[in-house]
Amino acid sequence: MKTLDCLGRRCPVPVIELAKALPNLEVGDLIEVLSDDPASANDIPAWCRMRGQGFEGGSAPSYLVRRLS
């Protein structure tokens, strides 16, 4: 599983980095996003919903996202 280290980066950087990393994943792959920004707990799942990707859970500082499309 790939890990995206966004520790210390302020919102919306973690979501931007997640969007950039997505094309490098196979559909069905999981990626772990490391983020200690308080907004990530809300904005990573919101991004998944808006972009049709899978939020697989997690809490600060580790979130799991699955590429669905």
CB nearer to another protein: pick between 15 and 34: 15
Q: Is 11 a catalytic residue?
A: yes
Copy the structure tokens of residue 69.
């499309």
CA 24/CA 18 separation, integer angstroms: 10
Q: What is the DSSP string of 22-59?
A: GGGSPTT-EEEEE---TTHHHHHHHHHHHHT-EEEEEE
- Catalytic-role residue among 11, 25, 41, 64: 11
Q: x/- site string to another protein, residues 1 to 30, per CB under 8 A?
A: ---------xxx--xx--xx----------
Residues in touch with another protein (CB under 8 A): 10-12, 15-16, 19-20, 37-39, 41-43, 45-47, 49-51
